[in-house]
Chains A and B, each alone.
Chain A
């Protein structure tokens, strides 16, 4: 049950008990304390939110096909609700929980060699907080919606007549708690539940990334909670905190907001970086290059992330001194990011690369993250940012990072661990095609927006001058291409659940612990304490025809390989 049993071919009839079949019925899911089921519930919820957020994105892009009104009935006010909902849903309901709460919940304890997270009940509570937060946010639609942008800048957010602002703020406030509890849970899990032999520097890099993320979640999210609470107090009871007509300061709100929301960008991107480390190493069947630099750069990014929030405010009236300091510190983030990219590329060197779907997503990530990162230089530089701030250049830049990197990383991870989560293989060819369609669509949509922005088109515009139309048309066409790629992905993933090939325990040849238990994993992950080795040492891994997957062959044990023996597994 714990390790691969070569004598027992895997088929549906003889499939051993697993977390999906262990107990049955709605209640067994609704009150489950199993991190894998909670992870699956998160994943389903996040993907539904992604669909809803995506529909709003397509509505926004379609409306922008022509200057003025394009879709009948979509006035400026309706459009403002659309882009606000798109942003709020994608940030708070999709990207922030997608990797830590959904994939992380499922994979993290297994990777670590633990039976569950440290606080399983808190974990379930986090999920229900997420659900209530999501319901609050979406219920604001019925109460008049909100048109503040996902940033809720004052004094607009405290004076707009839209009726749904307070429910939306409450929803995001609750979502924040969900995020804090997940982070807390993961920090304790990594510290306390590592089995013997799982030292800090033997942890898979995904766990380092999740750990760094959890620190940000716990330290930064409370600030967002307090800020939103102050905003609610101001809007509901006219207590002047941010509104200058009541003695407040709107720039103070921006400081508070970005003190969370800049680290939040790293809550989104760090776990994706962790996934990429896994994908590239496993699908290149090659030991990760520069493990310690990648691991420590995650921690460095987590620390830097708290010191750069002011680069969102270069034109806000913040003092020139602060602008200078924030510009300087913002550049420092380039260092750990560059280290990661170059180390990932070096991992491909002398590797055994298989271009399957997860690897294609990892390569997409490398290209898109490079563009997203490099265009960050234009925005961190003081004089060029004055021109580019609040234009489509910024929109393109953060979509390259938040969607092209964080979400593409998540989808790559979803493909990587899909056989583990569901016990089924998806159609590999369709997977590759969909990945390429998404990659092309993404670049057509968002690369165009760099030109749009540098030519001067401000963001959040319902109407625009005719000179910008050609870029908008190209961008909208790109968004349709991208949407068709995602629909294809949804199709073959769903189809795999019903007709997909039964997944072997180790379909890709991974060495970390999750590939040592069956697919899907048994209810308690490991019956006995798993043996922990170097999770990036692939010397003992070989393809097995009978298993139709990879197995660990003791005959190829890494200790016999001089290179690994000499380095003594780090």
Chain B
């Protein structure tokens, strides 16, 4: 078994994290311990029955092959009540045992401790937003070590599911409901790595790109990170906003909006400012054009009004050729964030197609993102 384990762990190219076994990824939460123990015991039962059945099959087939030119043997028993009852009842007891231990441990999964640190999670096509008690938000999940963490989750569009394999936890995010998930991890995530966080409930085009990282920090580092994270936008001076905050905020938009003109799930941001400010024109699905919607005396007085409305209420005017796919970012972006996006759009020529700022920048009071 050890050899097989080694071979298979080596097969996992690019991942040399310790603790990975033949069957399971590293065990990094309190809940994983019992869950893995259960997994191994079930495996033992499976190996036992599978190997037993295969050996029995081979012996039976070899021993009772038809002999040529001999009449059929007909001395086999037709039934055997005690034997048949035995192999109905023995598996019954085994599975009742397995059920009981699985159930008992499952109660732990379902019962977040009272002193849990609570993080609000919102999923939408195709990203996660983690919101911490002090108002800070992040795209990857940061958790303190050594204390239970409870995720209070909701979805703003379709079903999603929050799955952290290393913690052995998973829970669906159902629109219109809140669901909970909790775990406790005691090990600080080593520099340069992170636990995978996947969306495991199919949600469309970007389903497989909803994978993020979970970073566990010791409480002091976590507190420092949290404070910095809640203020990063506020600390940036207005004039530097578009090139400091813009690209960072754009990371949440790039799944659907390209910068190089490629048609994605949403329209490209290349030349978007020119279109909305009247230099070029485009149409909405309802047949109206940008110019009939944007300008003095129209629905949107200024292009900035239109951009703001598109972020907060994207379904109102959908650009021709695209589906109404964008979720609202109401409550997720404050006015300063929206200003940063608008500035980013206005100065698109100062960025490359990945959103990297091309001009020299003075060293900024940059917040460590680990």
Instruction: Decide if A389 touches B200 in the complex (CB within 8 Å).
Output: yes
CB distance from B39 to the nearest CB of A (A): 5
Is there an interface contact between A370 and B53, defined as CB atoms closer than 8 Å? yes
Bound-complex Cα distance A555 to B166 (A): 69
| B76 interface residue per 8 A CB criterion | yes
Residues of B within 8 A of A160 (CB): 204
Enumerate chain B residues within 8 angstroms of A339, measured Cβ to Cβ: 84, 87-88
Question: Interface digits, A345-366 against B, CB 8 Å rule (1 contact, 0 not)?
Answer: 1111111111100000001001
For residue B91, CB closer than 8 A to chain A, the reply is yes
Interface residues of A in 25-84 (CB under 8 A from B): 76-77, 80
8 Å CB interface, A145-184 against B:
147, 149, 153, 155-156, 159-161
A542 proximal to B (CB < 8 A): yes
Q: What's the least CB distance linking B294 to chain A, in Å?
A: 26
B173's nearest neighbour on chain A, judged by CB, is A317
Bound complex: CA A331 to CA B77 (Å): 30
Q: Is the CB of B198 within 8 A of A467?
A: no
Q: Name the segment of A89-97, A125-133, A322-330, A426-434 touching the other chain.
A: A322-330
- A335 interfacial by beta-carbon distance below 8 Å: yes
> Is there a chain B Cβ closer than 8 Å to A387's Cβ?
yes
Among A229-237, A245-253, A268-276, the stretch in contact with B: A245-253
Known: A315-B171, A353-B64, A456-B196. A381 touches B110 (CB 8 A): no
A335 to B98, CA, bound (A): 14
- CB nearest neighbor in A for B153: A317
10 A-B pairs within 8 Å (CB atoms) are namely A155-B157, A293-B79, A335-B91, A345-B60, A363-B57, A382-B106, A455-B165, A461-B208, A462-B208, A466-B13
Query: Contact between A451 and B8 (Cβ–Cβ < 8 Å)?
Result: yes
If the complex has contacts A161-B323, A327-B103, A339-B87, are A377 and B74 also in contact, measured as CB distance less than 8 A? no
Decide: A315 and B170 in contact? CB cutoff 8 A: yes
**Residue A563, interface by CB 8 Å:** yes
CB of A561 closer than 8 Å to a CB of B:
yes
Q: In the A-B complex, list the 9 residue pairs whose CB atoms are closest, starting with the nearest.
A: A456-B165, A244-B176, A350-B76, A381-B102, A382-B106, A161-B323, A461-B208, A458-B200, A467-B15
**A287 adjacent to B76 (CB under 8 Å):** yes
Residues of B within 8 A of A346 (CB): 77, 80, 83
> Are A355 and B158 in contact, with the CB atoms below 8 A?
no
Complex: A570 Cα to B95 Cα, angstroms: 32
B34 on interface, CB distance cutoff 8 Å: yes
Contacts of A391 in B (CB 8 A): 163, 200
* Interface residues of A, Cβ cutoff 8 Å to B: 76-77, 80, 147, 149, 153, 155-156, 159-161, 243-245, 249-251, 284-287, 289-293, 315-317, 320, 323-324, 327-328, 331-332, 334-335, 338-339, 341-343, 345-355, 363, 366-367, 370-371, 374-375, 377-378, 380-384, 386-387, 389-391, 451, 454-456, 458-471, 538-539, 541-542, 556, 561, 563-564, 567
A348 / chain B contacts, CB cutoff of 8 Å: 57, 60-61, 64
Find chain A residues with CB under 8 A from B110 CB: 320
CB distance from B70 to the nearest CB of A (A): 8
Contact of B207 among A343, A456, A462 (CB under 8 A): A462
| A267 CA / B71 CA spacing, docked (Å) | 38
Residue of B49, B92, B166, B176 touching A370 (CB-CB under 8 A): B49
When distances are taken between beta carbons in the complex, the residues of chain B under 8 Å from A370 are 49-50, 53-54
Complex Cα–Cα for A320 and B102 (A)? 13
Most buried by B among A342, A370, A381, A463: A381
Given contacts A381-B42, A384-B39, A451-B23, contact A390 B163 (CB under 8 A): yes
Known: A380-B95, A455-B25. 12 other contacts (CB 8 A): A76-B205, A77-B205, A291-B78, A315-B171, A339-B84, A371-B50, A374-B49, A377-B95, A456-B198, A459-B200, A464-B208, A470-B12
Q: Are A390 and B201 in contact (CB under 8 A)?
A: yes
Cβ contact of A249, chosen from B66, B170, B176, cutoff 8 A: B176
**B113-131: contact bitstring with A at CB < 8 Å (1 yes, 0 no)?**
0000000000000000000
Residues of A within 8 A of B74 (CB): 286-287, 538-539, 561, 563-564
Interface 0/1 of B24-59, CB less than 8 Å to A: 110000010011001100100110011001101100
The answer for the CA separation of A328 and B100 in the assembled complex, in Å, is 9
Q: Please state if A147 and B204 are interface contacts (CB–CB under 8 Å).
A: yes
What residues on B are CB-neighbors of A349 within 8 Å?
A: 60, 64, 76-77
B205–A382 touching, CB < 8 Å: no
Tell me the complex Cα distance, A244–B211, Å.
Answer: 25
**Taking chain B's interface residues, is the majority helix, strand, or loop, or is none over half, making it mixed?**
mixed
Interface residue? B109 (CB, 8 A): yes
Contact partners of A355 in chain B: CB under 8 A: 61, 65
A259 to B176, CA, bound (A): 23
B174 in complex: contacting residue of A251, A285, A374, A387, CB < 8 Å = A251
List the B side residues contacting A324 at CB < 8 Å.
103, 106
Contact with A along B145-187 (1 / 0, CB 8 A): 0000000000001110101011011111011110100000000
Residues of B within 8 A of A345 (CB): 53, 56-57, 60
Cα of A469 to Cα of B12 in the assembled complex, Å: 8
Whether B50 contacts A317 by the Cβ 8 Å rule is no
Compute how far the CA of A332 lies from the CA of B89 in the bound complex, rounded to whole angstroms.
11
Report the nearest A residue to B47, measured CB to CB.
A374
Contact B165 A387 (CB under 8 A): yes
* Residue contact A460 to B207, C-beta cutoff 8 Å: yes
Provided the pairs A285-B72, A460-B207 are in contact, do residues A383 and B109 lie with their beta carbons within 8 angstroms? Answer: yes
**Is the CB–CB distance between B14 and A467 below 8 Å?**
yes
Q: A80 touching B159 by the CB < 8 A rule?
A: no
A461 touches B72 (CB 8 A): no
Interface membership of B22, Cβ < 8 A: yes
Contact of A383 among B34, B45, B95, B198 (CB under 8 A): B34
Cα A284 to Cα B92 in complex, Å, equals 29
- The 8 Å CB contact of A328, one of B31, B39, B99, is B99
Say yes or no: A354 contacts B72, CB within 8 Å.
no
Q: Is the CB of A454 within 8 A of B24?
A: yes
The reply to whether A291 and B79 form a contact with Cβ atoms under 8 Å apart is yes
How far does the Cβ of B233 sit from chain A's closest Cβ, in whole Å?
30
- Would you call B325 an interface residue if the criterion is a C-beta within 8 Å of the partner chain's C-beta atoms? yes
